[in-house]
Amino acid sequence: MDFARTIAVSLLLLLPQMAHAQKRIATGSVPPPQFADAQRKQKLAAAFPEIERLFKNYMERQQPPGAVLGVIIDGELVWVKSAGVREKTGNARVTPETVFRIASMTKSFTAMAILKLRDEGKLSLEDPVSRYVPELANLPYPTSDSQVLTVRHLLTHSEGFPEDNPWGDRQLAQSGETMRAWMKAGIPFSTSPGTVFEYSNYGFAILGQIVAKASGRPYADYVRDNILKPLGMNSSTFEMSSVPREHIALGYRREGDAWKPEPILAHGSFGAMGGLWTNAHDLARYVAFLISAFPPRDEPERGPIKRSSAREMQQAWRAQPASAFRAAVDAPLQLSASSYGYGLGVTQDCRFGHVVGHGGGLPGYGSLMRWLPEYGVGLIGMSNQTYQGFNNLFNDTLSALHRTGALQPRIAQPSQALLKAQSDVSQLIIKWDDALANRIAADNLFLDVAADVRASRWKTLAEQHGTCRPATTIDPENALRGEWRMMCDRGWLNVFITLAPTMPPKIQLININPVLQPDAEMTRTAETIVKLLGAWDAKVVEAIAAPGFDVERMRRQLAAAAAWGSCKVGEPLSGNGTRNSAIRLTCENGPLAARIGLDANTRKLTSLDLVPLREQRCVP
């Protein structure tokens, strides 16, 4: 390599560090979301007796030799219970200090090691794997247009290798020499790299080789000194021999009514995919650290990797097929959308928008960790039975926490720019001012709807509603977008604004939803509709329907709305209160809006639409 090329390559390698050094920070411009309830931890604790009952039932029903369950809230292991035995001979009891092998949960530790090396400039996620594993330099690809295998492909199970459970589980103790010989002989592809998700233990074993090569140290030593020790995970190890005998949970499998001990495989070349041993206290520290990466904020870094890298691990990088199913034909429809991050699964369902976790299963062991980053809550479970699952127990535990009413996500906080825009728009609604309007408007605002047209519309609002007053609060969707309610002499205005990507941020969108209270006839109609939801009555419908009203469509809507359960009339959402109103129906299984139209003269029903409100992620 000549001198000029050497300099060029060196500069390319320095670019990430140079970019980081030049990063400017607008401190406070995006306030971190916050929990609204200062008593949330105490309220969540009300679920602990129920969780203990669930765990007891789980042990009686599943009958694993031993298990431990823990709940993490705001960085603390606030509740932990153990049951059963860590070995059948002698019936030594499991305790929270008992060390289990956590199998594939090890994969996220391997991913964290890769990101630490990336952040240190020792590798790139886009590097070809063959740069660190020369045995794969001549790997035959399945198609001529296949992508070259990269570190990122391995991290996200996108390498195209065939899914290898349970084969991979039995390879933990393979020697490095054997693994190198296998790789040199080639690895079959089931798909082309970078196209689909397919779980590969082999791929994460290769990542362990990359950690060793890039760091210049054995994989286990690097993880111990750079992840486990900084997190205070002093009881965690890849070597069973380093664990005091009285703390080890021996693994078992059930054969009929008998328990058979599973031979414990040594840590070998496949250890990076599933070889770690840990206990409840250590695993809670690890989960707490990953949860603590949220939300983004300005406080000093305190982890083995940067918070931004820990968040990166917990993002969806490779999608998996989504599903919608019912537990029974009469049960609510449940959505599940799954993806893979870096060594972690990322999902969303009908209750929670961002769920992170990973399971682990090996001969003799089963484990699961799962957490809700935006809620500050996590769960851990470990057992010494082959492939023992915790999924249903975790679901029930989260349901118990949810029933307290305190399992709520952090609330977005408004930026100063959004608060200033709120004040300016409120003032403009109260009294139009051309100078103020021009000062706060992004260049599209009055191209989309001319200023004089807006002024005329807002004057009409003032005539309908009387004097309106500025709000003292705002409901931010994020730091630069939000909604508030202006109470007026008659009804109120729901105002929504979005700021543009300009400096300073100016207003690109204003939506005003005027609401007048339903009059007596509109209220009676809404109450009648709710009664009809419980039981159809043709005579009642005939009495409230205007000529030409589509009665059959109303019948179909009410029948479909039965899935929402019993409902009550709530507050108005929009409309003038006499001829048309959208009224919230608060129902057992989620909210509906009843959009009601009445004839101006006869006050009979001319239109009805029952609409699920968007605030409900999944409908029944």
Convert the pLDDT of each residue in 208-243 to its tens digit.
999 999 999 999 999 999 999 999 999 999 999 999
Phi-psi region of 373 (alpha: psi -120 to 50; beta: other; left: phi over 0): alpha
Residue 21: the pLDDT is 56
Q: State the helix-helix crossing angle for 520-534 and 551-560, rounded to 10 degrees.
A: 60
Structure tokens at 492: 């109120």
Residue 265 has what DSSP assignment? P
In terms of Cα–Cα distance, which of 428, 536, 565, 419 is closest to 482?
419
What's phi and psi for 218, nearest 5 deg?
Answer: -55, 145
Q: Residue ranges of the chain with pLDDT lower than 70?
A: 1-21
Residue 205 has what DSSP assignment? H
In whole angstroms, give the CA distance from residue 620 to residue 618.
7
Residue 5: the pLDDT is 52
| Bridge-based pairing state of the strands 277-278 and 252-255 | unpaired
In whole angstroms, give the CA distance from residue 204 to residue 198.
12
Residue 335: the pLDDT is 83
In 3-state terms, what secondary structure has residue 208? helix
Residue 2: the pLDDT is 55
Phi-psi region of 491 (alpha: psi -120 to 50; beta: other; left: phi over 0): left
What's phi and psi for 479, nearest 5 deg?
Answer: -65, -20
In 3-state terms, what secondary structure has residue 247? helix
In whole angstroms, give the CA distance from residue 198 to residue 156.
9
Cα dist from 606 to 183, 379, 393, 443, 575, whole Å: 73, 52, 50, 41, 15
In 3-state terms, what secondary structure has residue 593? strand
Q: What's the start-to-end Cα distance of the chain, in Å?
A: 65
| CATH 3.30.70 holds for 520-612 | no
In whole angstroms, give the CA distance from residue 314 to residue 372.
11
In whole angstroms, give the CA distance from residue 442 to residue 429.
17
Task: Give helix then strand counts, H and E, for the chain.
Answer: 18, 22
| Superfamily name with CATH number, domain 40-403 | DD-peptidase/beta-lactamase superfamily (3.40.710.10)
Burial status of residue 41 (CB atoms within 10 A of its CB: 0-12, 13-18, 19 or more): middle
Report whether 540 contacts 555 (CB < 8 A). no
Q: Where are the domains of the chain?
A: 40-403, 416-514, 520-612
**Helix H or strand E encompassing 594:** strand 590-598
Residue 19: the pLDDT is 45
For 292-336, what is each residue's pLDDT tens digit?
A: 999 999 999 999 999 999 999 999 999 998 898 888 887 777 888
pTM, to two decimals = 0.93
Determine how many CB atoms are found less than 10 A away from the CB of residue 448: 11
Listing DSSP states for 37-86 in one string gives -TTHHHHHGGGHHHHHHHHHHHHHHH--SEEEEEEEETTEEEEEEEEEEE
Residue 434: the pLDDT is 97
Residue where the block lists tokens 């290798």: 161
Cα dist from 379 to 61, 326, 344, 526, 602, whole Å: 20, 25, 14, 44, 59
Report whether 495 contacts 510 (CB < 8 A). yes
In whole angstroms, give the CA distance from residue 345 to residue 577.
48
